[in-house]
A and B are shown apart, each in its own frame.
Chain A
Amino acid sequence: MDFSEAAERISRKFSKTGTTVDAKKVEGKLRRLVNEFGVQPSEAERSVTTELAKEFNVPAMGSAGGTGRSGGGTEQKKIAAMVPGEWVTLEGKVVSVSAPASPSIAQSGIIADDSGAIRFVAWAKANAPAMKPDSWYRIESAVVDEYKNVASLKIHSGTTIKEIEPEDRVLSPATVPIRDLRTGVGSVRAKVVQEWDASHERMLQSGLLGDETGTIKFVIWKEPGKETLVPGAVYLIYYAQVDEFNSRLSLNLNTALIMQEEGDITVSGGESAIRGAIVHIAPGSGIIKRCPVEGCNRALSRQNYCPVHEIQPDFRYDLRIKGWLDDGEKTHNLLLQRDAVEALTGMTLEAAKEIAENNPLGMDEVFLRIRDAVLGRYVLCKGREIENRLLVNTCERLPFDSSEHTALLNRAGTGGVS
């Protein structure tokens, strides 16, 4: 046991209540209890704390926890009630363990109780026993810390960890609406509304999850046993890491328990419908080649070159339109995926492939035909606008509306009379 650290912990605890204790004296008492009397370190800490509490008339300090036998000198808390800077004792279930990000970290993961979940980090220096996923532990004298705006539980050399029986404890994590997610750990029930091109070779999948209250970006990094989510499917996702980047939240699903669900969700929030004219079709529209490497999906150059996986002769074809939709007041950047392109242009991927492979202009011919079919046309595009770009789910030609014609005649006519 590191006596000075434990003594420091105790004196800090008392200083919070406005009492000054002599850390040297405390250390001596701890040393004596442990070395001479063979008392368990955690118990020594507890008894010294209780003794001092009595001495200074500070109420109920060492008796926190309620399990009697032990209790590390810190208060037992529900995870949801933890605040950065606190020393805490908790009982919870390790719901996820992830690979340590640095050699100074022995183990990291997520621990949960019935009130919530928190990330934990066990320092290598702490020499703490490794915790097993799905087991329950009592963790005494850990510190709630904050790093990059995310609270986490730090397990240091003064922390004691004990595996406990789950007894009849059952964890039923509560999902929260996407709108209410905060950095840390979160559980949602959501639908995969979009799948995006992977932007990193270590990325297995990224895209957008949505529920009735909003949408959030998600990412799954490549790791053994990780599977991609099916676009359009609904999932229960427990204990995902909620990160913040550029003041936008995103979900890292590598830590999460994921279960596919029956049913559907009407995703709202962020859905916009824009009427306007298509005023530009950008290069890179039409038929394109994509990298066949699993999880990559990048658009290849004409020479079949993927920026990450180099030459990929076994590419697969795809259709897309990148362009601008203009309503006369604002111009919206558009991205249409294959389904929307096929519906709007009437050209299927098969037909486009046929043209690309048999026409002297090749893929350019597909671009030109698509451009001539949609440029300058009035359309209604529905989708989600993210970072100034409308990711289009459906895009349809607008018909001439004779009731609008009548209304405008009235509007122009009455104004002229007055």
Chain B
Amino acid sequence: MSANPRDAGTGAGRREGAFEREPARRVFSAELRECRYQFKEGEDEKSPTFVLLPTGERSNRIFLVGTLTEKTRQGEQNIFYRGRVVDPTGTFFIMAGSYQPEAMQQLAKIETPAFVAVIGKPNLYQKPDGSFLVSVRVESITVVDKDTRDIWTLDTAARTLDRLDAFVKDGSPDIAKAKEHYPSLDPTVFRKMAYAALAQIRI
């Protein structure tokens, strides 16, 4: 929960709600796993960290809904949980450690498989072999129903298409940055991905 410097000064005098919370972006796992660029806004230790989505939007937080297929407990002193959440396009890697006790307890309680809604922060790691991994540090996770998963799929497809429409129009600085950092990516790939995700919904 980081203050957005652009808006931190507004809402003067109000204890709560005076800062702007970073919105949770909607992104399919197939797009998130392509992230290769992570940056910090501002010099402050508490400045938010963003991953740059290939479709040209920064993301400090994401909201995802899918099927928790696997969870493992790891660590001796510092216990943490890892999990895999599957959406129509692939797999999200999630984790919750002792720094997120509430999230960790929520995750510990859930029996796989289950539809889950996850709010968390994406982080980009480079593994020793040079490959990249985007993992989502869980802020909260709850069991939801299939309808919620399907609504999320619609929502995420719509947001992805919105980003793609903006991408071809060459709007924001973040889009320019995305073109610089992901030069070989073809946006039509993500359009097909969104279509495929939508096509998997059975009514």
Contacts and interface: CB of A to CB of B under 8 A. Distances in A.
Interface of A: 246, 277, 279-280, 324, 326-331, 333, 371-372, 375-378, 387-389, 398-402, 404-405, 408-409, 411-413, 415-416
Nearest to B139: A280
Given A277-B63, A326-B23, A412-B198, A388 B11 contact: yes
A279 B24 contact: yes
A402 B151 CA distance: 10
* Residues of B contacting A: mostly: mixed
Contacts of A333: 16-17, 21
B133 to A, nearest CB: 24
B191 to A, nearest CB: 5
Contacts of B159: 328
Interface in B124-156: 139-144, 147-148, 150-152, 154-155
B191 A412 contact: yes
Given A330-B23, A387-B17, A409 B147 contact: no
8 contacts: A277-B24, A376-B141, A376-B144, A377-B117, A378-B155, A405-B198, A408-B154, A416-B192
B23 A328 contact: yes
Contact of A328 (B17, B155, B188): B155
A376 B161 contact: no
Interface in B1-26: 10-14, 16-18, 20-26
A416 B147 contact: no
A246 B13 contact: yes
Nearest to B115: A376
B68 interface: no
Contacts of B99: none
A410 to B, nearest CB: 10
Contacts of A411: 161
B96 interface: no
B140 A280 contact: yes
B140 A328 contact: no
Interface residues of B, number: 48
B158 interface: yes
B147 A400 contact: yes
A375 B25 CA distance: 16
B39 interface: no
Nearest to B187: A415
A377 B23 contact: no
Contact of B117 (A246, A329, A375, A387): A375
Given A279-B24, A387-B14, 13 more contacts: A329-B23, A333-B21, A371-B142, A376-B148, A378-B152, A388-B10, A388-B17, A398-B151, A404-B154, A405-B201, A408-B198, A412-B194, A415-B164
B53 interface: no
Contacts of A371: 142
A388 B8 CA distance: 12
Contact of B21 (A328, A331, A413, A415): A331
B203 A402 contact: yes
Nearest to B165: A415
A415 B24 CA distance: 26
A387 B143 contact: no
Contact of B23 (A327, A372, A389): A327
Given A411-B161, A412-B198, A331 B12 contact: no
A377 B144 contact: yes
Contacts of A329: 23
Contact of A415 (B12, B152, B191, B199): B191
Contacts of A324: 21
Task: List 8 A-B pairs, minimum CB-CB distance, nearest first.
Answer: A376-B117, A412-B195, A388-B17, A333-B17, A331-B21, A375-B142, A389-B17, A279-B119
Given A246-B13, A328-B159, A413-B195, A376 B164 contact: no
B157 interface: yes
A400 B151 contact: yes
A378 B157 contact: no
A412 B161 contact: yes
B52 interface: no
B65 interface: yes
A326 B24 contact: yes
Contacts of B10: 388
A324 B119 CA distance: 12
A408 B160 CA distance: 11
Nearest to B194: A412
Contacts of B119: 279-280, 376
Contacts of A387: 11, 14, 17
Contacts of A277: 24, 63, 117, 152, 155
Contacts of A402: 203
A371 B102 CA distance: 12
Interface string B180-203: 000000001001101100110101
Contacts of B11: 387-388
Nearest to A245: B13
B173 to A, nearest CB: 17
